[in-house]
Copies of this chain bind each other. A is one copy, B any other.
Amino acid sequence: MDRRPIGVFDSGLGGLTCVKRVMELMPGEDIVYLGDTGRVPYGGKSRETILKYARQDIEFLRRRDVKAVVAACGTVSTNGLEEIAGDYPIPVMGVTDATATAAVRATRNGKIGLIGTKASVRATVYEEKILRLMPSARIVKKACPLFVPIVEDGRIGDGEPVLTMVAGEYLEELKAAGVDTLILGCTHYPLIAGTIGKVMGPDVTLIDTGAETAALLRRTLERSGALAAREKGAYSYFVTDSAEDFSRTASLFLGFHVEGSVKRVTLEDR
């Protein structure tokens, strides 16, 4: 048993969709969340910058004495996280492993779609992992840079006109390619899974990276006897921009009212 908290970070608050799954699957765990809201978004930035920020994020969580770190961020997970993960003495986990496995398990025709930020789609991590598990697979990728601003603008309702138009345009190629499985490669996307699912149709399985990763984390901690056996964990949230608006936006991603402390911190001055 390891009573230290689980650390989760993201460029902003999208990673809370993964935190929600961790809370559901491992209610006894303490969680420390870091959202780099002062520099959000990462998805349009260069690999070099993304990796520099990721290191600062991980180092911050390490100082809170976490037992494992989850990069609940598609952009970080696909832009070199695995190269730096080995530098730390605790597990540092992105979302790609669990997601690639789930996608391969779900597909029937071997055609897997991937949507994400520009940086996520520019990367080749998903192709490599999926092809290792299923050499005959075909991966069709599409960057959807307007999805994050649309979600952050709260335009997530079913039938929301701007979302519906943009989703129809972005997903057209993936539909035409006949994918039967679609990786929602950004932690913001579960909030618009309803619209994405409607555009793609009922025969396409959507893969939620946060849910798959939370399940893999549970198995990893279980296997090493590191699950905490508390009745209920405590949650603390850290952001790099103002903590004022945190609760309102966070509850959008968590789906319930935020419990736990929220603090503003500085990363770049260390």
Q: In this assembly, does A91 line the interface, its C-beta being within 8 Å of a C-beta of chain B?
A: no
Distance A243 CA – B260 CA, assembled complex (angstroms):
40
Distance A268 CA – B53 CA, assembled complex (angstroms):
12
Q: In this assembly, does A224 line the interface, its C-beta being within 8 Å of a C-beta of chain B?
A: no
Q: In this assembly, does A1 line the interface, its C-beta being within 8 Å of a C-beta of chain B?
A: no
Q: Which residue of B lies closest to A149 (CB)?
A: B149
Among A61-69, A161-169, A226-234, the stretch in contact with B: A161-169
Chain multiplicity (copies): 2
Distance A146 CA – B154 CA, assembled complex (angstroms):
11
Q: In this assembly, does A45 line the interface, its C-beta being within 8 Å of a C-beta of chain B?
A: yes
25 contacts between A and B (CB under 8 A): A37-B45, A38-B39, A38-B49, A39-B39, A44-B152, A45-B242, A46-B241, A46-B242, A46-B244, A46-B245, A49-B241, A49-B242, A145-B152, A145-B153, A146-B146, A146-B150, A146-B153, A148-B149, A149-B149, A161-B169, A162-B165, A162-B166, A162-B169, A165-B165, A268-B269
Pick the contact of A149: B38, B40, B145, B161 (CB < 8 A). Answer: B145
Q: Is the interface of A mostly helix, strand, loop or mixed?
A: loop
Q: In this assembly, does A48 line the interface, its C-beta being within 8 Å of a C-beta of chain B?
A: yes
Q: Which residue of B lies closest to A154 (CB)?
A: B145
Distance A50 CA – B103 CA, assembled complex (angstroms):
41
On chain B, the residues within 8 Å of A45 by CB distance are: 37-38, 241-242
On chain B, the residues within 8 Å of A240 by CB distance are: 49
Task: Please list the 5 inter-chain residue pairs (A to B) with the smallest Cβ-Cβ separation, ordered nearest first.
Answer: A46-B242, A268-B268, A149-B149, A49-B241, A39-B39
Cβ of B162 and Cβ of A48 under 8 Å apart? no
Distance A48 CA – B266 CA, assembled complex (angstroms):
12
Q: Which residue of B lies closest to A53 (CB)?
A: B38
